[in-house]
Amino acid sequence: MSFSAKRTVLLAGVAMMTLTAGAGAQEITTANYAFISQMNNSNFAYLSQSGALGAEGGANSGFIYQHGTNNIFLPIANGAPADAQQGANVLGVMQLGSDNYIGGVFAQNGTNIAGLAQFGSGNVIDTFLQTGANRGTIFQGGYANVARTIQDGEGNDAGIVQVNTDPALVGNFAFNEQRFGTNDVADARGGAFAGILQSGSQNVASNRQISQRMSDAAILQSGSGNVAVNTQVVDTYNSKSLIDHYDIGQENQASVIQLGSANGAVNAQDSSTNSFVGIVQGGNRNAGSNTYVGGTDHVGLIAQFGDDNGATNVSRDGTGNTANILQGGDRNVALNTVRDGFGDTAAIAQFGDDNIAANAQTGATSSPGVAGTVAAIVQVGKSNRAGNTQSAQALGSKNQAGILQVGNGNSGYNIQTGGSDATALIVQGGSGNVGVNTQVNVDPTSASIIQGGSGNVAYNSQTNVIGSNALTVQYGQGAADNLGINAQTGVTGSSATIVQGNTGGATNVALNTQIGVTDATGLIAQFGAGNGAVNLQQAGSSGVDAAVLQVGTGNVANNTQGAEVAYAGLNLTGKTEYSVSSNLTTIKVETLALSTLGGVAKVPAVDSSAAIVQVGDTNSASNSQVGVYTAGSGAKQATKTSQLTWRGWQQVGSTAAVLPSAGSVAATVASNAIIGQFGDNNVASNQQIATSGTDAASVQIGDRNGAINVQTLAVDSASANLQIGDDNVALTQQSASLGSNAANVQVGAKNAAGNSQTADAASNVLNIQVGDSNTAANTQDGTVGSDAANLQVGNGNLAGNVQNGVTDAVAGIAQIGNGNVAANTQQNGSSQVAALIVQTGEGNKAGNIQGAEATVFDTFGTAVDVKADASASLSAAAIVQSGSRNTATNVQGGSLEVSSNPIFTINAPAPVAGSVAGIAQFGSENTAATFQLASVGAVAGTVQIGDLNTAVTTQSLVAGVAAVTLQDGDSNIAVTTQSQVSALSAAATIQSGDRNVATTTQVASIGNVSLTVQNGSDNLAAVNQSNTTGNQSLILQSADHSIVLVDQSGAGGNSSAVSQAGAYSNAWISQVGSGSNSVVYQLGTGGATERNQAFVSQTGNGQNSLVVQAGKANVAFVTQH
């Protein structure tokens, strides 16, 4: 102190005259010793010790003992503080009793050690001031005591111990304050300590350190209802450069330990560096708070063990700071809040039930290059709630928010707003949990939720973020349902992923939503039963992918890229306005109503892929890819202007209505849609509208599955369905597509497959079925350069190709198995088409129909129910059957308008050119039929190798056509009919076998040729050429018991030649007309009773007949008349 020795003596005298207590004062050159003892009550003691050199001299020792009540140890004179000791001093004070007092400003100056003790209640030590490098200790035993120390400078130690043994009484109050440190890193001093130990209830403890370095403040309280506050303040902090230069608040530590209930603890640091604040509380209903402003790399910790506790870490304007909270118990609340900090970390760990934890990190005003903040929460227990909030972060910051919850009924929320490179993670183990990640205006960012249990809800929401990811993982083992949602709005380059697993039969629901996104991916993976998954990518999405993987039973999956958006039509009401012109004429302006129809538009997805894989039963999958619609504009209402005259309203002007411009649809380009299902009762659907270069595929393994692919306005696209199992249905539909292909592949029994193409070009459809009782159908309408094919391996299959109004197309069916049915239909003016059917097995049926259903007669534009098929031109129809009991039919025909007037129209079959129909059958009991109507340059061929075959060829209104039948087997029947003004046509029947029957009929034909060759026994060949001219018939038979019937009639010039080699052959030739020729050659091989017979009848002029018979007992009759 600055008081002199004389001043000290004077103050002592004044004090002794005014008070009844005793005092002592000493001033010596080396060391002073003082002892004061006072008994009874209301004593006063004063001590002043000073060495010869003032504060730097002497080594003083003093001890004051007061016993009683209302005792005072007060170094004060005339209201001013006095120095108790100067120099290197040691002081001890003990007061035993109640309502004792040590103070006003009880001072030690120098390098001092002091110990103050009070036993009783209502005792006060205020204030104990030490200046220099001091050590001060206060002990108070009792209740309602007050102790306060102040230490100036650095390197001071202050300790207060208060013990209250009665929890029902008011506790003690302790205050340590250390101030006026230099904060300079060059100053080696520092390391101040302020400690408070309190035992009992309702105590208050405060440590305050100002401008200190490497200082510690500690409070230990045992009891209930206690309050502890540690405060470390650096007044000179005003910029980061000052902190870096002076190392302000270096390595300060403040800690509070409270054992008991209903305690409160606060640690406050201002502008600290590499410092620590900590609170440990054991008990219930405790509250702890760490607060710090500014500073660098300091740590705040709160640990609470008990129930109903509250913990708060508050940080602002710091860099690299950490706030941690640990709580063990139930119904605890923990909060970490950071504002305008950089690289700060906030962590909360809670073990118990019904706890609440929140990390809030807000804002960053400068230094954006510094790493961002980290917020983490760990909760173990049930019904816990956790939230991380990071908002208004600066660009360039790397913020991370994480939540780990283990237990049931927990809730976790991560909210990130603004900033860059943010990560939000929630991990929950248990059932009935809720996890939510919300990110707004963050780039890039990642949001993840992982949940283990059933009945969980996970939601990732990203809005206006670029380069972001959203992940949800759920795994459950119970009967409750899980729900996972990823929502991305206005994002670029984002990914949304959901993974769900459940082994308890629960229903998981997963949803990925991406709106207005670019180059984003949405993935859902579900492992369990009864799952539902949805990927939705909309509103101008580009280059996005959506995938769903499900393993379980009863799954539902849907991928939608783009959406159907309904737009309203115009509905502008009319109005009438009146006005008076300058010449007092009344003018009427009528605005007419204008209405347009609304509709549904498609929202785009460009360069997108949608894939669904399902393993389980009763799954449903749907992929939809659509285009974008832009509504028209520029609509104007019509107006009419009229003027009122003596003749009434007279129109003087008008404007026409203007309709809005047509809306436009932008195609979805190069998109892929894939569905894979493994299980039974699955449904798969791929839909692509206004796409280009896209692919749609469905893969299903199981029974009773359904797959549908729909492509509209697709270019260079492929659509495929693969099904392995029984009772499956696969369908593909392509409309107005170019260069697109569709295929269905089914392995199993009783499957159905269908491909449909409408107004497509250079597109192909294919069905492949392996199994029994399968059904396959391909339909092509108005296509160009498109092909349709069906391949079936199994029994009882049914396959059909339908091509209407197509050009340059091929329809093919291949069936390997038994009981198959196949049909190719090419109609409605189709041209340059080919139809092929190949069947291997028994009981097959095949049909090729080339031609359209045309109205034969109508009146006043109303069709009469009389119709015929119009043939396809430059077409080929072929059937190949290998097996028994096959049936094959080729039909080629057309129609032609014969007469037309306003009353009625008559149509006739139209001529078609360059068509070929062929049937090949290898087996027994086959039936083949070929029908050609109104054909030019057509060829019909039938090949049958086997037993009991039947071949029928009918050509009507044909010219320059050929019909060929080849039969190798027993009991074959071949029927060829060419009628209705046929010309330059040829019919040939070749039979190698027994008991063959061949009939050729050429009616009203010119220059036709008929050939019949039979090699076998009991053959019958019949040729009927009636109303013909210049026709030729040749019959060759090499067998016994063969019969030839030739009937030629007409103008004449016909020729007939018969060659029979065998026994019991008969030839019957009838020719009506002039200039006809007949030749019969019979070579008999039998005896006298095995004779051949020839009968020739010619009517007309200039006829020629030749009969040559070799053998025995032959008979020949030739009649010319």
**CB-count exposure of residue 832 (10 Å: 0-12, 13-18, 19+):** middle
HSE (CB half, 13 Å, CA atoms) of 496? 39
Q: How far apart are CA 488 and CA 491, in angstroms?
A: 6
Count of CB atoms situated within 10 Å of the CB of 239: 10
Place of tokens 């389980």: 616
Non-local CB neighbours of 236 within 8 Å, separated by 6+ positions: 183, 211, 242, 246, 248, 271
Q: Which residues of 557-586 are buried (b: 16+ CB within 10 A; e: fewer)?
A: bbbbbbbebeeeebeeeeeeeeeeeeeeee
Going along 153-296, which residue ranges are E strands?
A: 157-163, 173-179, 193-199, 204-210, 216-222, 227-233, 253-259, 264-270, 276-282, 287-293
Is 377 within 8 Å of 347 (Cβ atoms)? Answer: yes
Q: How far apart are CA 897 and CA 856, in angstroms?
A: 8
**925 to 210, 840, 881, 886: CA distances (angstroms):** 113, 14, 11, 7
Is 717 within 8 Å of 711 (Cβ atoms)? Answer: yes
List pLDDT tens digits, range 688-737: 766 666 677 777 777 777 878 777 776 777 777 787 878 888 887 877 77
- Determine the straight-line distance between the first and last CA of the chain, rounded to whole angstroms: 170
SS3 48: strand
Non-local CB neighbours of 503 within 8 Å, separated by 6+ positions: 476, 477, 528
Strand-pair partners of 451: 428, 474
Token pair listed for 31: 């060391």
Length of the chain: 1121
10-residue averages of pLDDT along the chain (1121 residues): 32 31 41 80 77 58 86 64 69 86 74 85 84 83 87 81 83 85 54 84 85 81 87 63 53 84 84 80 87 78 89 80 86 84 82 88 58 81 85 68 86 80 81 84 78 80 77 71 76 75 67 73 74 74 75 75 76 87 84 83 74 74 73 82 86 86 72 74 73 72 79 74 81 77 80 79 79 80 80 80 80 81 78 82 80 58 53 76 82 64 60 77 82 77 83 78 83 81 76 83 79 83 83 86 88 88 88 89 74 90 90 86 85
For the residues of 959-991, what is the DSSP string, one character each?
A: BS-EEEEEEESSS-EEEEEEESSEES-EEEEEE
At residue 1105, the pLDDT reads 93
Strands 648-655 and 639-645: antiparallel
Q: Which helix (H) or strand (E) holds 674?
A: strand 672-678
Q: How far apart are CA 714 and CA 734, in angstroms?
A: 8
Count of CB atoms situated within 10 Å of the CB of 181: 27
Show me where the domains of the chain are located: 565-597+634-657, 772-957
Q: Nearest to residue 804, comparing CAs of 788, 817, 818?
A: 788
Q: Nearest to residue 288, comparing CAs of 253, 223, 336?
A: 336
For the residues of 479-540, what is the DSSP string, one character each?
A: SSPEEEEEEEES-BS-EEEEEEEESSSPPEEEEEEEES-BS-EEEEEEESSS-EEEEEEESS
Strands 927-933 and 904-908: unpaired
List pLDDT tens digits, range 119-150: 888 888 888 787 877 788 889 888 888 988 88
Angle at 628 between CA 623 and CA 631, to 5 degrees: 145
SS3 string of 307-322?
CCCEEEEEEECCECCE
Strand-pair partners of 525: 499, 549
